[in-house]
Amino acid sequence: MFGSETGACIKGQPCTLREFPLKIENNEVLVDTGDFAPNGPH
């Protein structure tokens, strides 16, 4: 679990967040995940 203001891990340590570039175009949020592939349960 992460804090909404800082992104700091507050439960389930250790944990990390990744940053992804995004843009808003025609009222849609577009996220560039590049070659990122998730590697855990969702």
Number of domains in the chain: 1
Q: What is the pLDDT of residues 7-31, one digit of tens each?
A: 788 887 777 777 889 999 999 999 9
Give the model's pLDDT for residue 15.
77
The answer to whether residue 42 is domain-embedded is no
What is residue 30's DSSP assignment? E
pLDDT of residue 12: 77
Q: Rounded distance, CA 2 to CA 27, Å?
A: 27
Identify which of 36, 8, 32 has the alpha carbon closest to the alpha carbon of residue 20.
32
More confident: 42 or 5 = 5
User: Which residue is listed with tokens 């940053």?
Assistant: 19
- 26: containing domain: 1-37
Q: Report pTM.
A: 0.47
Tell me which H or E stretch contains 25. Answer: strand 22-25
